[in-house]
Amino acid sequence: MVLRDIVRRMLCMSDAAWYIFIRSIQLSCVMLFCSFLLLLSCDGSLMQRSQYMTAMALYEGPQGLLLGGLILSVFAEELQSRRR
């Protein structure tokens, strides 16, 4: 029951809030894909340490990005609802 209300509210978001939300999900997916490719190309040698650290940063970054995108989309939705 509560989950249905959440999904219904989410599907009725304003265009600006929806844009922020979708773009943050897309950017997170791209970052995770790049991290996966970097980890695949890393052979485990110490020569590739900077490449490994970059991959780990790309792996951990999407969590914060999604949280920031969610907060910004909520702010955009609240701003839009106050203007109505």
Each residue's pLDDT tens digit, 52-64: 888 889 999 999 9
Q: Which domain holds residue 73?
A: 2-83
Q: How many domains are contained in the chain?
A: 1
* Rounded distance between C-alpha atoms, residue 37 and residue 33, angstroms: 6
Q: What integer best gives the mean pLDDT of the chain? A: 87
Opening angle at CA 39, ends 32 and 60, nearest 5: 40
* Rounded distance between C-alpha atoms, residue 60 and residue 79, angstroms: 30
pLDDT category of residue 46 using cuts at 50, 70 and 90? low
Phi, psi of 14 (to 5 degrees): -70, 165
